[in-house]
Amino acid sequence: MMNATISATVADTAIFVFKTNIRLLRDVRRVAQVLDADARIVAWNVDRQDTDHVLRVLTGTLDEAGIISLIQLAGYTCVALPD
């Protein structure tokens, strides 16, 4: 629902999606402090309307585990959504 609009997709940007407990606006703000400060992240958003509070991240260099540890560092759970 919020945050970073997806800019022009760079050729080798990957998309990762996670189930989280980033529920409230203030949770999103807390996560934003970490994600916005990280230059490796191209864009991200949290769908707060969804039951899984899906976090979607576009990145050129980070991998799944890297994103998970960033979110955990901010104090939230973050599990990769299976295909």
Partner 1 sequence: MRTRDENKELKIRQKALAMVAKFGYDAFSMQRLAKEAGVSPATIYIYYKDKEDLILSLYQEESRKMADETLKGFDSLMPFSEGLRIQWINRAKYCMKYPEQMLFLEQIKLSSLHAKAWPMMGDDFRSRMKEFVTNAIKNKELVKVQVEVYWSVAFAPLYNLVRFHMAGKNMGGDAFVLTDTVMMNTLELVLKALRP
In the complex, minimum distance from the CB of residue 18 to partner 1, in angstroms, rounded to a whole number: 9
Residues that bind partner 1 in the complex, under the rule CB under 8 A: 1, 6, 14-17, 45, 47, 49-52, 54, 56, 81-83
Kindly tell me which of 59 and 76 has the beta carbon lying closer to partner 1: 59
In the complex, minimum distance from the CB of residue 64 to partner 1, in angstroms, rounded to a whole number: 9
Kindly tell me which of 15 and 73 has the beta carbon lying closer to partner 1: 15
Kindly tell me which of 62 and 70 has the beta carbon lying closer to partner 1: 62
- Sign of CA pseudo-dihedral 78, 68, 82, 2: positive
